[in-house]
């Protein structure tokens, strides 16, 4: 590491010094060059149990406060996150490798959940239901589910935390978070800013661990944890779901995807190309809503691939902290090797590599693969890298059949102009989210989530708050009315 870099790195990380340890902790690396950024203190099963108990003990005071009072604290947290946007973005870039511009965009996006749920918490309305009997009345109350836990991934290390913690706190819950091993620094910064904003220390806790399976077991078996929210792989989601059966812990699961990206022959091809750029190359393709399979109608296939290849050639690859970088490395070398392996395997099975395909360290240049058959591994698995596999289809029926031919059902993208076609296909796609003529659908105001093996529950919007509220039905009888 250059000495200048060290000054910069030390400067940006100085507020986190209290979390550092000399040895025996968790080593955090910069994916761009593999250098060690920091070694941080980690927590064992006994610590997690203590954090859960402390969270549960501070919860009654918090949930007794008015929603306005909780909103005031959350809004201060929102303000502090935005105030520190440059520092937080740099930390996200250091630990995840994404370009600084994307780091900043993530902080804005992550902060938006805090503001949204601060407001939405004031609207946790119950109901008065017309009664079945003249001297009885029926009401419903919305009450916080209790003490919650969360396990989050490295691809959006800030936003994946705020969209769980903000609704939990707004609803009157407490939460203990185990962040991803690769990206605990921004999570700890987020926690410290929450404390500065007035979130009680015990109520919300970020607890980095070296043994994620242990954290999962503690969260699913501790009797005080009423709900677990997880974002990550379907493999781990299934493990957690099995463990949650132990005490019927409520679950929100945001798992893997295999998003189809359909381009019909009436689409505006330039819009569709820009859609691929947003849906595929953001975070170097490491998002659960990344376009995984580009399905293109036969008669526009060649024209579309030409335009896409020309556009992709302009993407500037580099260290996320360098000026002008548009795409950074993958999270580590192993990820780049795995993704380029999928590309080579497709080529051996008859696909053509139009550009890219070879990993250098953790970097993989934007890759386009054509002549891809629907049964190839590159189509069946979640790529999680900057690779565009293009599959041809003949008509609407075949497009829908191919798009739905997956156990996943998170996002889908479709490009077409005919309104009848748009409506028919949107209804027929088996997924939780469909973007029509757009490549970016994440926003705090809309319900994000999947069906099939992509998960349970929704994050963002009023539905994201409901995940942290129980419904209590109250019957008032013998009213003499
Ligand atoms: P990814 O491929 O995105 O890393 P993972 O599902 O492996 O997906 O990781 C997402 C989160 O799940 C991370 O915080 C990770 O530490 C955690 N995790 C990994 N394995 C387990 C496990 N067995 N139980 C609970 N959490 C786990």
Q: Are 222 and 273 members of one domain? A: no
Q: Is the minimum distance from the CB of 181 to ligand 1 under 6 angstroms?
A: yes
Burial per residue of 217-239, b for 16 or more beta-carbon CB atoms within 10 angstroms, e otherwise: bbbbebebbbbbbbbbebebbeb
179, 211, 232: residue to mutate for ligand 1 pocket, most atoms within 8 A of CB = 232
Quote the domain boundaries for residue 358: 259-443
In a domain, 250, yes or no: yes
Q: Please report the atom of ligand 1 found closest to the CA of residue 180.
A: 14
Instruction: Using the mean position of ligand 1's atoms as its centre, give its distance from the Cα of residue 216 in Å.
Output: 9
pLDDT of residue 204: 98
Tell me the pTM: 0.95
Residues with catalytic function: 254, 288
Residue written as token pair 């589910």: 145
pLDDT of residue 8: 46
- Cα–Cα distances (Å) from 309 to 80, 144, 161, 274, 292, in that order, read 41, 50, 35, 12, 17
Instruction: Using the mean position of ligand 1's atoms as its centre, give its distance from the Cα of residue 384 in Å.
Output: 15
According to DSSP, the β-strands at 408-409 and 26-29 are unpaired
Q: Is the minimum distance from the CB of 236 to ligand 1 under 6 angstroms?
A: yes
Q: Are 30 and 65 members of one domain? A: yes
Q: Are 238 and 293 members of one domain? A: no
Q: Are 461 and 439 members of one domain? A: no
Q: Are 14 and 152 members of one domain? A: yes
Instruction: For residue 251, give the CATH number of its domain.
Output: 3.40.605.10
Cα gap 272→170, rounded to integer Å: 38
In a domain, 450, yes or no: no
In a domain, 4, yes or no: no
Residue written as token pair 């399905």: 295
Asked whether the predicted pLDDT for residue 2 surpasses 80, the reply is: no
Asked whether the predicted pLDDT for residue 3 surpasses 70, the reply is: no
Q: Which two tokens stand for residue 110?
A: 């992550």
Instruction: Using the mean position of ligand 1's atoms as its centre, give its distance from the Cα of residue 42 in Å.
Output: 16
pLDDT of residue 238: 98
* Tally of domains within the chain: 2
Q: Are 307 and 406 members of one domain? A: yes
In a domain, 479, yes or no: no
Q: Give the rounded distance of the alpha carbon of 415 from its chain centre.
A: 24
The three state secondary structure string of the chain is CCHHHHHHHHHHHHHHHHHECCCCCEEEECCCCCCEEEEECCCCHHHHHHHHHHHHHHHHHHHHCCHHHHHHHHHHHHHHHHHCHHHHHHHHHHHHCCCHHHHHHHHHHHHHHHHHHHHHHHHCCCEEECCCCCCCEEEEEEEECCEEEEECCCCCCCHHHHHHHHHHHHHCCEEEEECCCCCHHHHHHHHHHHHHHCCCCCCEEECCCCCHHHHHHHHHHCCCEEEEEEECCHHHHHHHHHHHHHHCCEEEEECCCCEEEEECCCCCHHHHHHHHHHHHHHHHHCCCCCEEEEEEEHHHHHHHHHHHHHHHCCCCECCCCCCCCCECCCCCHHHHHHHHHHHHHHHHCCCEEEECCCEECCEECCEEEECCCCCCHHHHCCCCCCEEEEEEECCHHHHHHHHHCCCEECEEEEECCCHHHHHHHHHHCCCCEEEECCCCCCCCCCCECCEECCEECCECHHHHHHCCEEEEEEEECCCCC
Q: Say if CB 376 and CB 389 are below 8 A apart.
A: yes
pLDDT of residue 11: 86
What's the pLDDT tens digit per position in 387-436? 999 999 999 999 999 999 999 999 999 999 999 999 999 999 999 999 99
Asked whether the predicted pLDDT for residue 371 surpasses 80, the reply is: yes
Q: Is the minimum distance from the CB of 180 to ligand 1 under 6 angstroms?
A: yes
Q: Please report the atom of ligand 1 found closest to the CA of residue 179.
A: 14
In a domain, 3, yes or no: no
Query: From its phi and psi, is residue 357 left (phi > 0), alpha (psi between -120 and 50) or beta?
Result: left
Instruction: Using the mean position of ligand 1's atoms as its centre, give its distance from the Cα of residue 153 in Å.
Output: 7
Q: Please report the atom of ligand 1 found closest to the CA of residue 231.
A: 10
What's the pLDDT tens digit per position in 160-189? 999 999 999 999 999 999 999 999 999 999
In a domain, 477, yes or no: no
Average pLDDT over residues 432-450: 98
In a domain, 449, yes or no: no
Q: Are 361 and 279 members of one domain? A: yes
Q: What is the dihedral of CA 418, 422, 424, 427, to 10 degrees?
A: -170
Q: Is the minimum distance from the CB of 464 to ligand 1 under 6 angstroms?
A: no
Q: Is the minimum distance from the CB of 287 to ligand 1 under 6 angstroms?
A: no
In a domain, 205, yes or no: yes
Instruction: For residue 347, give the CATH number of its domain.
Output: 3.40.309.10
Confidence of residue 23 (pLDDT cuts 50, 70, 90): confident
Cα gap 437→463, rounded to integer Å: 25
Confidence of residue 10 (pLDDT cuts 50, 70, 90): low
Q: Are 315 and 464 members of one domain? A: no
Q: Are 236 and 324 members of one domain? A: no
Q: How many CB atoms lie under 10 A from the CB of residue 45?
A: 14
Q: Which two tokens stand for residue 97?
A: 């490798």
What's the pLDDT tens digit per position in 79-107? 999 999 999 999 999 999 999 999 999 99
Cα gap 41→322, rounded to integer Å: 29
Its sign, for the CA torsion 143, 144, 146, 152, is positive
DSSP lists the bridge partners of residue 286 as: none
Q: Are 409 and 464 members of one domain? A: no
What's the pLDDT tens digit per position in 302-360? 999 999 999 999 999 999 999 899 999 999 999 999 999 999 999 999 999 999 999 99
Q: Say if CB 459 and CB 252 are below 8 A apart.
A: yes
**Residue closest by Cα to atom 23 of ligand 1:** 213
Instruction: Using the mean position of ligand 1's atoms as its centre, give its distance from the Cα of residue 116 in Å.
Output: 27
């Amino acid at each position: 590491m250059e000495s200048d870099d060290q000054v910069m790195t030390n400067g940006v990380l100085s507020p986190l010094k209290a979390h550092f340890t000399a040895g025996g902790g968790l080593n955090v690396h910069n994916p761009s060059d593999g250098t060690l950024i920091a070694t941080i203190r980690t927590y064992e099963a006994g610590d997690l149990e203590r954090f859960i108990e402390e969270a549960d003990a501070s919860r009654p005071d918090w949930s007794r406060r008015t929603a306005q009072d909780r909103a005031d604290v959350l809004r201060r947290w929102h303000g502090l996150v935005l105030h520190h946007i440059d520092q937080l973005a740099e930390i996200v870039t250091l630990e995840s490798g994404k370009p600084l511009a994307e780091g900043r965009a993530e902080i804005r996006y992550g902060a938006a959940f805090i503001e949204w749920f601060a407001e939405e918490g004031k609207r946790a309305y119950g109901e008065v239901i017309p009664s079945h009997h003249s001297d009885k009345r029926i009401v419903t109350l919305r009450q916080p589910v209790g003490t919650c836990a969360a396990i989050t991934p490295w691809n959006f290390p800030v936003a994946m935390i705020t969209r769980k913690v903000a609704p939990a706190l707004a609803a009157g819950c407490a939460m203990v978070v185990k962040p991803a091993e690769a990206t605990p620094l921004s999570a700890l910064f987020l926690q410290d800013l929450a404390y500065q904003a007035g979130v009680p220390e015990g109520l919300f806790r970020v607890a980095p661990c070296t043994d994620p399976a242990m954290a999962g077991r503690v969260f699913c078996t501790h009797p005080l944890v009423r709900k677990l929210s997880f974002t990550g792989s379907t493999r781990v989601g299934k493990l957690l779901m099995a463990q949650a059966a132990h005490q019927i812990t409520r679950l929100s699961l945001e798992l893997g995807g295999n998003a189809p990206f359909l381009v019909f022959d009436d689409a505006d091809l330039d819009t569709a190309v820009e859609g691929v750029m947003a849906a595929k190359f953001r975070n170097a393709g490491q998002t659960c809503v990344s376009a995984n399979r580009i399905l293109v109608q036969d008669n526009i296939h060649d024209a579309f691939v030409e335009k896409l290849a020309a556009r992709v050639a302009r993407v500037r690859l580099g260290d996320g902290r360098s000026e002008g970088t548009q795409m950074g490395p993958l999270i580590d070398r192993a990820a780049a090797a795995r993704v380029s392996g999928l590309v080579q395997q497709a080529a051996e099975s008859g696909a053509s590599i139009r550009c890219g395909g070879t990993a250098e360290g953790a970097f993989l240049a934007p890759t386009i693969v054509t002549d891809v058959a629907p049964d190839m591994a590159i189509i069946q698995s979640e790529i999680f890298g900057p690779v565009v596999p293009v599959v041809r289809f003949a008509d609407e029926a075949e497009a829908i059949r191919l798009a739905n031919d997956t156990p996943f059902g998170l996002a889908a993208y479709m490009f077409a102009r005919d309104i009848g076609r748009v409506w028919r296909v949107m209804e027929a796609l088996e997924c939780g989210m469909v973007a029509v003529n757009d490549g970016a659908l994440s926003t705090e105001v809309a319900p994000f989530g999947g069906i099939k093996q992509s998960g349970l529950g929704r994050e963002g919007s009023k539905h994201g708050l409901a995940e942290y509220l129980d419904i209590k039905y109250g019957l008032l009888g013998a009213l003499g009315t």
